[in-house]
Chains A and B, each alone.
Chain A
Amino acid sequence: MKTLVWVEHDNASVKDATLAAVTAASQLGEVHLIVAGAGCAAVADEAAKIAGVGKVHLADNAAYKDALAENVAPLIVDLMGHHDAFVAPATSNGKNIAPRVAALLDVMQVSDILSLEGPKTFTRPTYAGNAIATVESSDAKLVITVRGTAFAKAETSGGSGTVEAVSGAGDAGLSSFVGAEIAKSERPELTSAKVIVSGGRALKDGPTFEATIFPLADKLGAAVGASRAAVDAGYVPNDYQVGQTGKIVAPEVYIAIGISGAIQHLAGMKDSKTIIAINKDEDAPIFQVADIGLVGDLFNVVPELTSKL
């Protein structure tokens, strides 16, 4: 089976999310990649070195720079003429583009897969991760998005793919990119961090969140996450949000501070290897999933913890 994998990139380098999708795709068969962007030849060269990669299709055109689904989907549909499956990481780009591709091919997408059980059989989470469904596709071609934390990352070296330019139709004339506000952070990226320190509504406000959570995260070299309550209250931007509607993470250690543990939040982090909870309410649901719990006032406990590390 020939599989086409969407390469997530910023027109400069390959994003980590791609690597888990390559691992999933390699379980289906021959792996080809699509790099769509503008001035992104370096990305294609980098992508060709990913272990197990065959052909890299490079579509270099100003129309593909911002990964607008209206422009990118027809390009992928063209390439699907000689591929059997399209695989994208379940990033915001993957989730935006893949269903558009699926509908154009008249196939049902399998979203956010956790594993491959057979050539056309997959497991995926439903009901905020409270039920795992095993589904079998009856479509001629597969369109799949992959949960990044469920697959190991492919090696970024050792591959010897060949880069081949493809043209595509370019600008569909339906949409244009206006601008972006990207949150800057010196810390590790949330979805790939080994340790995450996450704060909830109990942090009171933005400055308190920063003063309490950031120093601990920096001591541990950790990424910072947040519950939806903390994001909605404006303590931190929404790209910090961990949960069903935010990012899905599975770090080695997840430290939940002042987070009660609503099912929406648990859906985003309960595959973490070790969960540590600090909460003053000993009945908080987070303690039912935490490996290590400490009942106490976070405003005393967290600064003490930071100073003792």
Chain B
Amino acid sequence: MKIIVPVKRVIDYNVKPRVKADGTGVDLANVKMSMNPFDEIAVEEAIRLKEKGVATEIVAVSVGPQKAQETLRTALAMGADRAILVQTDDEVEPLAVAKILKAIADEEQPGLVVLGKQAIDDDSNQTGQMLAALMGRPQGTFASKVEVEGDSVSVTREVDGGLETVKLALPAIVTTDLRLNEPRYASLPNIMKAKSKPLATKSPADYGVDTAPRLKTLKVSEPPVRSAGIKVADVDALVAKLKELGVA
């Protein structure tokens, strides 16, 4: 079966984001960008399913600016077979991304779509669930284990109280949690090879999707700043402080 893996180009997770002084957003000029960490895990899981003989082809997809090509090349270097860039300079909300992915899934007929559970920039945690709804297919969100068995997939999910396992009829949508796997590094020969793998460029209009935002961002501001407090010299002083706070 075919697996589609949507990936997003986001600010690198090690970078501390800076809010622009005019309150219009976060300053992304000259900031290091990388593949969303949850998406790396999704790519890795798809590759492992291919190595097990479950998947036959992996298609990486990204919706974003021209530079998102780099993110797709990373996915290709890790082991994806081909890539589709749906190019747009606008910020596209999860609902519109899900609609584009639905159109691509209609064309490609995948057995599985594996996404990250959330992007570390907008922190929405919506796209996979929305795609599942639009496709009318089951969803296995926050997956820490994925096992394909015949015409179904068993997904162990990370939930508030611990873990739970659900069985989904294929085709299905899975979103990855951090503990699903440890993504591999792309080797230099594979990075070179990835340059010649096919990458198609499309636009949202090609899929007939209106990407106009439903949510208008009125303002982006810094969170209230916490300042460093005091340092105490020893345990006795700490005990005294805890007593002051009324917890000891």
Contacts and interface: CB of A to CB of B under 8 A. Distances in A.
B161 interface: yes
Interface string B211-225: 001111111111100
3 nearest A-B residue pairs (beta carbon):
A291-B229, A99-B129, A103-B130
Interface of B: 11, 13, 16-17, 19, 25-26, 93-95, 98, 117-118, 120-134, 137-139, 141-142, 144, 154, 157-169, 177-179, 213-223, 226, 228-232, 234-239, 241-242, 245, 247-248
Interface string A255-295: 00000000110000010001110100000000111111111
B142 A92 contact: yes
Contacts of B98: 103
Nearest to A108: B214
A25 B77 CA distance: 47
Contacts of B223: 125, 129-132, 270
A179 interface: yes
A104 B236 CA distance: 58
A175 B121 contact: no
A136 B215 CA distance: 5
Contacts of B178: 228, 232, 245
A139 B126 CA distance: 16
A250 to B, nearest CB: 12
Contacts of A42: none
Taking residues whose C-beta sits less than 8 angstroms from the other chain, chain A's interface range is: 35 or more
Given A100-B133, A287-B231, A238 B214 contact: no
A100 B129 contact: yes
Given A175-B166, A288-B228, A294-B235, A73 B133 contact: yes
A181 interface: yes
A179 B165 contact: yes
Interface in A112-150: 112, 121, 125-139
A173 B168 CA distance: 9
Contacts of A253: 242, 245, 247
A232 B215 contact: no
A132 B134 CA distance: 29
A290 B242 contact: no
A109 interface: yes
A231 B138 CA distance: 29
Contacts of B165: 177-180
B214 A138 contact: yes
Given A92-B142, A100-B129, 15 more contacts: A69-B132, A70-B132, A93-B159, A95-B129, A95-B141, A96-B129, A99-B133, A100-B130, A102-B130, A106-B95, A108-B214, A110-B215, A111-B126, A130-B223, A276-B238
B141 A96 contact: yes
Nearest to B117: A245
Contacts of B154: 178
A239 B162 contact: yes
Interface stretch (A27-35, A43-51, A301-309): A301-309
Nearest to A15: B160
Given A183-B162, A293-B231, A136 B216 contact: yes
A128 B226 contact: no
A68 interface: yes
Nearest to A117: B218
Contacts of B25: 131
Nearest to A107: B214
Given A132-B220, A175-B167, A181-B164, A102 B95 contact: yes
B214 A139 contact: yes
Given A99-B133, A103-B98, A308-B239, A131 B120 contact: no
Given A102-B130, A107-B95, A126-B121, A133 B220 contact: yes
A100 B216 contact: no
Contacts of B247: 194-195, 220, 222, 252-253
Nearest to A191: B160
Given A102-B95, A139-B214, A294-B238, A132 B167 contact: no
26 contacts: A70-B139, A93-B159, A95-B129, A95-B141, A95-B142, A97-B129, A100-B132, A102-B126, A102-B133, A104-B133, A112-B123, A127-B120, A131-B25, A132-B220, A138-B214, A138-B215, A139-B214, A175-B139, A178-B165, A178-B166, A180-B162, A253-B245, A291-B230, A293-B228, A293-B229, A309-B239
Contacts of A309: 239, 242, 248
A160 interface: no
Contacts of A228: 178
Contacts of B133: 73, 99-104
A289 B226 contact: yes
B229 A238 contact: no
A110 to B, nearest CB: 7
Interface in A61-83: 66, 68-70, 73
Nearest to A8: B160
A126 B122 contact: yes
Given A131-B221, A237-B162, A290 B228 contact: yes
